[in-house]
Amino acid sequence: MFTRIAIVGAGLMGTGIARHLASNGNAVIAYDADARKLQQARDDNPLPAIRYVSALTDIADADLVIEAVFEDLAVKQTVIRELESIVSKDCVLATNTSSLLVRDIAAVLDTPSRFLGIHYNNPADMNPIVEIIATAETSKPLASAVTTWMSSTGKLAIACADTTGFILNRQSLPYINEAARCVALATPLQVDRLAVSRLGVGLGPFAVMNLVGLDVMAAASRNLASLGHGYQPAARLQSQAPAGAWQIDADDARTPDLPADMADAIEARLLGAMMFPGKDILEQQLCSRDDLHLICREALGYARSSPELLEAMDADQADRSIETYLRHQSG
Across the strands, what pairs with 160? 133
DSSP, res 1: -
Run of H or E including 31: strand 28-31
Q: CATH 1.10.1040.50 occupies which residues in the chain?
A: 168-326
Q: Which CATH superfamily, name and number, covers 5-160?
A: NAD(P)-binding Rossmann-like Domain (3.40.50.720)
312 burial type by CB count under 10 A (0-12 exposed, 13-18 middle, 19+ buried): exposed
Spatial distance between the Cα atoms of 50 and 79, rounded to a whole number of angstroms: 21
10 burial type by CB count under 10 A (0-12 exposed, 13-18 middle, 19+ buried): buried
Considering the domain 168-326 in this protein, what is its CATH number? 1.10.1040.50
Q: What is the pTM of this model?
A: 0.89
What is the pLDDT tens value at each position of the chain, 331 positions in all? 899 999 999 999 999 999 999 999 999 999 999 999 999 999 998 999 999 999 999 999 999 999 999 989 999 999 999 999 999 999 999 999 988 999 999 999 999 999 999 999 888 999 999 999 999 999 999 999 999 999 999 999 999 999 999 999 999 999 999 999 999 999 999 999 999 999 999 999 999 999 888 998 999 999 999 999 999 999 999 999 999 999 987 666 678 889 999 999 999 999 999 999 999 999 999 999 999 999 999 999 999 999 999 999 999 999 999 999 999 887 6
pLDDT score recorded for residue 139: 98
pLDDT score recorded for residue 54: 96
Q: CATH 3.40.50.720 occupies which residues in the chain?
A: 5-160
Spatial distance between the Cα atoms of 71 and 67, rounded to a whole number of angstroms: 10
